[in-house]
């Protein structure tokens, strides 16, 4: 019988995140917290947090490579404002305006990704400093474009509103309303995009050479160099991907809430970092999984929804819950990995003793 291989650190931490999300959601259903017994609540969590799921993937890719990117929230804010102004001012109709706005969003994200990636990878400036500057720059540019909120006009762009109003209906996961009518579960386009990003990011990190190189440079940069990996190019491309995903997250946010202002996605970079850590991504690099980051984002969304439904609407309750949750996961990861390393060291010592005998 073939011996079963033990779980890697990445697989173990991802499994823990999944189990905790399932347990938390099950408790909310059993408690019961109003609405959690319906499948639509799960889909609403996806719909409302699609942009967060996308930037959590962006952060995970960078953090696995040993970096950090705290400019993602600012890039979302700039993207939403720029696309709102563009859609209100463009004469492009019949879907061309939407496609142009999408390319504008991706272009903004790409510009920040390339610029920051070059400074970090080739000029070897600290990632925190570079992306902090990127956060301030993007927020400043957002305010420069417009101090007042800018909403996409329904009259100017009825096509955009028709597009964002499209939802995927899943009748067999719906519920029966009080009047006896069957209400199908609905998933927004942005949520579908977010799920696609998770799947593609997972495939990139696991099966594509670039993804394996990102793990390698995050685990040990010197060893990666000895293996012939181009560390600078790999790190640069991780920031380019992160920038593109940030721009895409901005467009997804716009489809969910078609209003741009300077406070859009405020502190979302912190939520994305928290989601990645909760999902099992280590700040030291080399360990992580975007599937875990997805469940990390869903854990944060679930706890915030539970607090909101408990009528604890003051912002500090959510901040305290998120902080306590993050601290718990950091402690849990530390304990689990420490015990795992001790057991591994004991096994190695036992093998050496047997070989000597």
Q: Which DSSP letter does residue 7 get?
A: P
What would the pLDDT profile of 215-234 be if each residue is shown by its tens digit? 999 988 899 999 899 999 99
Higher-scoring residue by pLDDT: 138, 176 = 138
Predicted confidence at residue 1, as pLDDT, reads: 44
Does 355 reside within a domain?
no
Q: Any idea which residue has 């950091």 for tokens?
A: 330
Which domain range does residue 320 map to?
A: 9-345
CATH number at residue 311: 1.10.3470
pLDDT of 5 strictly over 70: no
For 127-168, the DSSP string reads HHHHHHHHHHHHHHHHHHH-SS-EEPPTTTTHHHHHHHT-EE
- Region of residue 185 (left: phi > 0; alpha: psi -120 to 50; beta: else): beta
Facing residues of 175 across strands?
Answer: 183
pLDDT interval class at 28 (50, 70, 90): confident
Distances (CA, A) of 272 to 35, 170, 268, 296: 25, 29, 6, 9
- Tokens encoding 73: 């929230």
Does 353 reside within a domain?
no
pLDDT of 178 strictly over 60: yes
Does 1 reside within a domain?
no
Mark out the alpha helices in the chain (DSSP H runs).
Answer: 9-30, 39-48, 50-64, 72-89, 96-121, 127-145, 158-164, 189-207, 209-219, 221-226, 231-256, 268-278, 290-309, 315-356
Does 209 reside within a domain?
yes
Distance CA 19, CA 133 (A): 37
Q: Which DSSP letter does residue 69 get?
A: -
Does 227 reside within a domain?
yes
Across 187-213, average pLDDT: 95
Does 350 reside within a domain?
no
Across 286-310, average pLDDT: 88
Does 183 reside within a domain?
yes
* Start-to-end CA span in the chain (Å): 27
Q: Which DSSP letter does residue 176 get?
A: E
Does 200 reside within a domain?
yes
Distance CA 76, CA 82 (A): 10
Q: Which DSSP letter does residue 285 get?
A: S
Higher-scoring residue by pLDDT: 122, 184 = 122
Across 319-338, average pLDDT: 78
What is the total count of domains within the chain? Answer: 1
Facing residues of 188 across strands?
Answer: 167
What are the b/e assignments for 205-228, b being 16+ CB within 10 Å?
beeeeebebbbbbbbebeebeeee
CB 284, CB 262: distance < 8 Å: no
Across 86-104, average pLDDT: 83
Burial tier of 3 (Cβ tally within 10 Å: 0-12, 13-18, 19+)? exposed
Q: Which DSSP letter does residue 208 get?
A: S
Q: Which of 26-35, 94-103, 114-123, 241-250 has the lowest mean pLDDT?
A: 26-35
* Mean pLDDT, the chain, integer: 87
Predicted confidence at residue 344, as pLDDT, reads: 66
Query: Which phi and psi (to 5°) does residue 229 adopt?
Result: -80, 135
pLDDT of 354 strictly over 70: no
């Amino acid at each position: 019988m073939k011996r079963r291989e033990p779980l890697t650190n990445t697989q173990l931490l991802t499994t823990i995140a999944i189990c905790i999300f399932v347990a938390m959601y099950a408790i909310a259903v059993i408690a019961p917290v109003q609405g959690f017994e319906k499948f639509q609540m799960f889909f609403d969590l996806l719909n409302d947090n699609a942009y967060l799921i996308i930037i959590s993937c962006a952060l995970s890719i960078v953090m696995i490579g040993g970096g950090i990117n705290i400019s993602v929230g600012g890039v979302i804010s700039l993207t939403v404002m720029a696309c709102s102004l563009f859609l209100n001012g463009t004469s492009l109709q019949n879907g061309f305006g939407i496609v142009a706005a999408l390319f504008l969003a991706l272009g903004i994200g790409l510009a920040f990704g390339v610029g920051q990636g070059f400074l970090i990878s080739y000029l070897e400036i600290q990632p925190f400093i570079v992306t902090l500057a990127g956060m301030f720059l993007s927020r400043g540019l957002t305010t420069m474009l417009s101090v007042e909120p800018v909403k996409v006009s329904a009259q100017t762009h009825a096509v955009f509103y028709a597009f964002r109003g499209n939802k995927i209906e899943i009748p067999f996961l719906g519920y029966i309303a009080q009047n006896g009518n069957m209400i199908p579960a609905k998933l927004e386009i942005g949520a579908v995009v977010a799920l696609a990003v998770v799947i593609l990011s997972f495939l990139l990190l696991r099966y594509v050479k670039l993804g394996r190189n990102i793990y390698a440079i995050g685990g040990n940069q010197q060893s990666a160099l000895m293996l012939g990996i181009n560390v600078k190019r790999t790190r640069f491309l991780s920031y380019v991907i992160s920038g593109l995903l940030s721009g895409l997250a901005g467009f997804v946010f716009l489809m969910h809430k078609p209003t741009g202002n300077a406070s859009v996605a405020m502190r979302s970079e912190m939520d994305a970092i928290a989601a990645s850590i909760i999902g099992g991504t280590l700040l030291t690099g080399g360990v992580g999984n975007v599937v875990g980051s997805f469940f990390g984002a869903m854990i944060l969304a679930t706890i915030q929804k539970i607090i909101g439904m408990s009528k604890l609407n003051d912002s500090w309750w959510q901040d305290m819950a998120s902080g306590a949750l993050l601290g718990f996961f950091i402690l849990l990861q530390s304990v689990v990995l420490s015990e795992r390393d001790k057991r591994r060291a004991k096994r190695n010592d036992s093998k050496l003793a047997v070989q000597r005998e």
